[in-house]
Chain A
Amino acid sequence: MHTSISRVAAVAAMTAAGALVLAGCAATAPNTPNGAEQGGGGNGTLVVDASFDLATADPNREYETTGSIVAKALYETLLTFEGDDVTEPVAGLADFEMSEDDRVLTLTMESGHTFSDGSEVTVDDAVFSLQRVQGIAGNPSFLLEGVTVEKTSDTTLTLTSETPNPALPFILPNPALSVVNQEVVEENGGSADASDAAEDFLNGTSAGSGPYILDSYDANAEVVFTANPEYSGDAPAYERVVLRNVPGETQQLNVQAGESQIALDLNPDQAAGLDEDAVTLISGASRYVIFLFLNQSEGVSPVTSNPDFLRAVKLGIDYDSIVDLAGEGSVRPGGFIPSLFNGALTADQGNQQDVEAAKEALAASGYAGEEVQLNFPNDITVQGLSLQSVAESVQAQLAEIGVNVSLAPAPVATELDAYRNGTEQIGLWYWGPDFPDPSNYLAFTPGELVGLRAGWTADADPAVKSLADAARAATGDERAAAYEELQVAQNESGPFIPLLQPAQNVATAKSVTSVALNPVWTIDLGATK
């Protein structure tokens, strides 16, 4: 009896095990011949893995890294950049001319660009789109703050700024300023004011003139593109592109296993672990600057606002070891402007470690071992690099000179509140430029956006303040020198301690011959071959 009874149970167990094995056999079949052979053939599928921060596929509302990738693939902008050169804007849907006083930008539409429904891109579409960005009061609206958009003829429009705005041609290539099909968008509830209701529609259907059209959209999982038959430029190399939300560590495995062709967010350790026979690695300094700030408001912390304490911290940090932590391709910036832009400082022009001087400064500050809190977001990565490792290093280095730092990580959604309200004692954050011009970094000066977060009020540091005003007013070749001087002064007395520019590591399958990377929109899918 023993045997017969248990045999029934055993058979049941065997069946289940068998099912698993069968499924396993089935698995190997479709896994092998992926894109590797189809890629680059002209009609294959390109699979791109990225860590999503996607919020919308409405180009005039998006202002996220992933959103820019999506908008760039679906839409075109009035001006653009050639390849990865962001030092010189070039004609996109329009050509441009800036007035002498840097206040009036005249754009002349180029003919021959068509939307995905076959209609031509007109000056009306352009005016509507820019006004829509302003009117709907969304994340990118500030890009055109103080700018008046006007149609001046059937082929021209002007952008008039209240104050001289030499950065405007550098702002226009931003994918958030994409031109949408006015007729289609208006038919679906769109308008150029706060009543706009076209976002839902644009999350399902694209209305642009870019190389691709939207096939499907899921902000949490993946976005699928198919080639736009009406695209006026060179047809994209891939008929279909799948952009998937995958964490960095999985991206590394996928691209090596041939499951994807491009991995966008590898951290240096993941990049170093790649098998270079299977994939190509492209790495270089990214546009992001990771920085530390010490709050200058007495109310927030009497410790961090002490100038001697601030100096001690600046002298106590081992800048080189932090850059080592971030791995190959990372850069140690000399100031808050990243190395890619005009006016950047080199590492030897920045602050340097000096443990003895740090200890002296600490003693001079009267610091008595009080605990200071270091806040940072722990659920996001900057180019695949988690801020946690940086925070742990800073904590250990400051402990060497006798500063007692406690770490306080939180999800970015929670922590942003404290950061933006300027209530963090020490903050560890990063800044990605809104447009590739040093004027964007004036935010890091007294009384400005990021300055205030560090409790650095407009009258807190008159010397730096006047240098900032000088930099803002400088024109032509004087600009670089003005921004360099500003940063040297900030390094001396300001609350910001630039730590590093992490590397951007992109791995591609061997079948991908050319990846169109760009600091503004990360990757141009339409130009990737």
Chain B
Amino acid sequence: MTAAMPVLRRRRFTTPRALRTPLAIAAIAVIAFWLVVIVLAPVLSPAGPLSQAFDRLQPPSAEHWFGTDQVGRDVLSRVLHGARVSVPIALMLVVASMLIGSVLGAVAGYFGRVLDEVIMRVADLVFAFPTIILAMVIAASLGPSLGNAVIAILVVSWPPYARVTRSLVLSARQTEYVVAGRLLGNGPFTSLTKDVLPNIAAPVVVLATLDVGTAILLLSGLSFLGLGAVPPTPEWGAMVGDGVQQFASWWIAAAPGLSIMTVVLAFNVLGDVLRDTLDPRTADAVKGGTL
């Protein structure tokens, strides 16, 4: 699939029209909402995220909008503080795996030969495992903690970037201006950073936006299994995990689950919109399509 990725020409986009569709605006609004929550969580929360000051397992009420959990904490407060855990970590994860993957992919694509072979075989190896199984084994081996979960996710999430970057570099390498640049005496590093990388940035950014959702799902999935965030950290996946123990108290899991969904959905919609804007294949199709 990645092999079909076309070469990007140098292009400039001014006002992204697609960003003004209702769906895109809604997605941006949701992300903005959570960003506000991240900043203002301590102000917005009716109680501390760790405070066990309330009666246990109370259903949602005017006092506790999302009820209280198994040790008497306010679920709303924990959900709000949970945004400070899941969202920033997911963003950081994506940036990190994007950097690692892109650099490895670019190196593989630009220098070829042995480096290419080694890097891409390792990528294949990682691909051969279902992500969560590999992440689970790593997290279980290192011991559960948010940090180790992040390491586990990093290990499994760089290969897509490496693949995309490599194929883009491979085709960009052949383009006239890169060849011209090299003839003008640019060394491999300058050539790679100045001429090649800027051209592949757009598709990688699209991939990264779509990946934020995946990272949040993976992180919360590991925490759900007890291999991620350590209690009493208000992590959303771990909170859903708490809810599993108390089936009748559905509210413990309801709000954190919904929160995961809204954030992931918003980033996925945004990623789609960005792709429609940046990806020439779809853009061309939109231009010429009449059927």
Residues of A within 8 A of B (CB): 247-249, 252-253, 267, 269-270, 272-273, 325, 378-379, 386, 388-389, 391-393, 395-396, 407-411, 414
The 10 closest A-B pairs by CB, nearest first: A273-B248, A249-B247, A396-B52, A392-B232, A378-B226, A269-B246, A410-B143, A392-B71, A389-B71, A388-B231
Residue of B nearest to A390 (CB): B71
Contact in complex: B247, A407 (CB < 8 Å) = no
Q: List 27 A-B contacts (CB under 8 A).
A: A249-B246, A249-B247, A252-B247, A267-B245, A269-B57, A269-B245, A269-B249, A270-B248, A273-B246, A273-B249, A325-B56, A325-B70, A378-B231, A379-B226, A386-B245, A388-B231, A389-B70, A392-B71, A393-B52, A396-B50, A396-B51, A396-B232, A407-B231, A409-B231, A410-B143, A411-B144, A411-B227
Cβ of B155 under 8 Å from chain A: no
A residues less than 8 Å from B29 (CB atoms): none
Other A-B contacts than A249-B246, A391-B231, A408-B230, 7 sampled, CB-CB below 8 A, are A273-B249, A392-B231, A393-B71, A395-B232, A396-B52, A410-B143, A411-B226
Give the chain A neighbours of B57 by CB distance below 8 A: 269
- A384 to chain B: closest residue by CB: B245
Closest to A391 in B: B231
Specify which chain A residues have a CB less than 8 angstroms from the CB of B71 in the assembled complex.
325, 389, 392-393, 396
- Alpha-carbon distance between A411 and B249 when the two chains are bound, in angstroms: 25
Q: How far is the CA of A267 from the CA of B50 in the complex (A)?
A: 23
B35-72 interface with A by 8 A CB criterion: 50-52, 56-57, 70-71
Chain B residues with CB below 8 A from A386, complex form: 245
Determine whether B140 belongs to the interface, using a CB cutoff of 8 Å to chain A: yes
State in angstroms the CA–CA spacing of A392 and B71 once bound together: 8
Report B142-182 residues with CB < 8 Å from chain A CB.
Answer: 143-144
Residues of A close to B242: CB separation below 8 A: 388
List, in ascending order, chain A residues with CB within 8 A of B247's CB. Answer: 249, 252-253, 270, 273
Residue of A at shortest CB range from B225?
Answer: A379
In the complex, chain B residues whose CB is within 8 Å of the CB of A410: 143-144
Cα separation A325 to B50 with both chains bound (whole Å): 16
The chain A residue sitting closest to B139, CB to CB, is A411
Residue of A267, A388, A414 contacting most chain B CB atoms (<10 Å): A388
Report A-chain residues with C-beta under 8 Å of the C-beta of B143.
410, 414
Interface residues of chain B: helix, strand, loop or mixed (majority)? loop
Does B32 have its Cβ within 8 Å of any Cβ on chain A? no
A247 to B245, CA, bound (A): 9
Contacts of B226 in A (CB 8 A): 378-379, 409, 411
> A-side binding surface: helix, strand, loop or mixed?
helix
Interface-centre pick from A247, A267, A378 (highest chain B CB count, 10 A)? A378
Which residues of the partner chain A approach B125 to less than 8 Å between Cβ atoms? Answer: none
Flag if A248 contacts B245 (CB, 8 Å). Answer: yes
A411:B231 contact, CB within 8 angstroms:
no
Q: For residue B140, which residues in chain A have a CB less than 8 angstroms away from its CB?
A: 411, 414
Chain B 240-260: CB-based contact to A (< 8 A → 1; otherwise 0): 001011111100000000000
Chain A residues contacting B230 (CB-CB under 8 Å) are: 407-409
Closest chain A CB from B191 CB (angstroms): 47
Closest to A247 in B: B244
CB-based nearest A residue for B232: A392
Residues of B within 8 A of A407 (CB): 230-232
CA distance in complex: A302, B5 (Å): 61
Within 8 Å CB of B249, what residues of A?
Answer: 269, 273
Cβ B50 vs Cβ A249 within 8 A = no
**Residues of chain B within 8 A of A267, CB atoms compared:** 245
| Interface hub of B51, B144, B232, B245 (most chain A Cβ within 10 A) | B245
Give the docked Cα–Cα distance between A378 and B245 (Å). 13
Nearest chain B residue, comparing its CB with the CB of A395: B232
B244 touches A249 (CB 8 A): yes
Complex formed: what's the CA distance from A253 to B242 in Å? 17
Q: Tell me the bound Cα distance from A407 to B238 in angstroms.
A: 14
Question: What B residues does A248 contact at CB under 8 A?
Answer: 245
Residues of B within 8 A of A378 (CB): 144, 226, 231
CB distance from B283 to the nearest CB of A (A): 24
Contacts of A393 in B (CB 8 A): 52, 71
Give Cα A247 to B246, complex, Å: 12
Minimum C-beta distance from B280 to chain A (A): 26
Contact between A270 and B246, CB atoms less than 8 A apart: yes
Enumerate chain A residues within 8 angstroms of B248, measured Cβ to Cβ: 252, 269-270, 272-273
| Chain B min CB distance to A417 (Å) | 11
Cβ–Cβ < 8 Å partners of A269 in chain B: 57, 70, 245-246, 248-249
User: Nearest chain-A residue to B142 (Cβ)?
Assistant: A414
A411–B230 alpha-carbon span in the complex (Å): 12
> Which B-chain residue is minimally distant from A381 (CB atoms)?
B245
**Chain A residues whose CB sits within 8 angstroms of the CB of B50 once the complex forms:** 396
Residues of B contacting A392 in the complex (Cβ-Cβ under 8 angstroms)? 52, 71, 231-232
Q: Once the chains are docked, how many angstroms separate the CA of A485 from the CA of B51?
A: 38
Docked complex Cα distance between A386 and B71 (Å): 12
Residues of chain A contacted by B56 (CB below 8 angstroms): 325
Identify the closest chain A residue to B140 (Cβ): A411
Chain B residues with CB below 8 A from A389, complex form = 70-71
What residue of chain A has the Cβ atom nearest to residue B57's Cβ?
Answer: A269
Name the B residues within 8 Å of A395 (CB-CB): 232
Closest Cβ–Cβ distance, residue B215 to chain A (whole Å): 23
Give chain A residues whose Cβ lies under 8 Å from the Cβ of B52: 392-393, 396
CB proximity of B74 to chain A, nearest CB, Å? 14
Least CB distance, A384 to chain B, in whole angstroms: 8
* CA A269 to CA B55, docked complex, whole Å: 13
Whole-angstrom CA separation of A311 from B249 in the bound complex: 37
A389 CA / B247 CA spacing, docked (Å): 16
Alpha-carbon distance A26/B11, docked complex (angstroms):
57
Most chain B CB within 10 A, of A253, A395, A396, is at A396
Separation in Å of the B238 CB from the closest CB of chain A? 9
CB-contacts of B192-251 with A (<8 A): 226-227, 230-232, 242, 244-249
Which residues on A sit within 8 Å (CB–CB) of B227?
A: 411
Tell me how far the C-beta of A529 lies from the nearest C-beta in chain B, rounded to whole angstroms: 29
In the bound complex, residues from chain A placing their C-beta under 8 Å from that of B144 are 378, 409-411
B245 touches A249 (CB 8 A): yes
Give A269's nearest chain B residue, CB to CB: B246
Give the chain B neighbours of A273 by CB distance below 8 A: 246-249
Q: Nearest chain A CB to B142's CB is how many angstroms away?
A: 9
Beta-carbon nearest neighbor of A273 in chain B = B248
Bound complex: CA A292 to CA B29 (Å): 48
Minimum CB distance partner of B145 in chain A: A408
CA distance A355 to B258 in the complex (A): 40
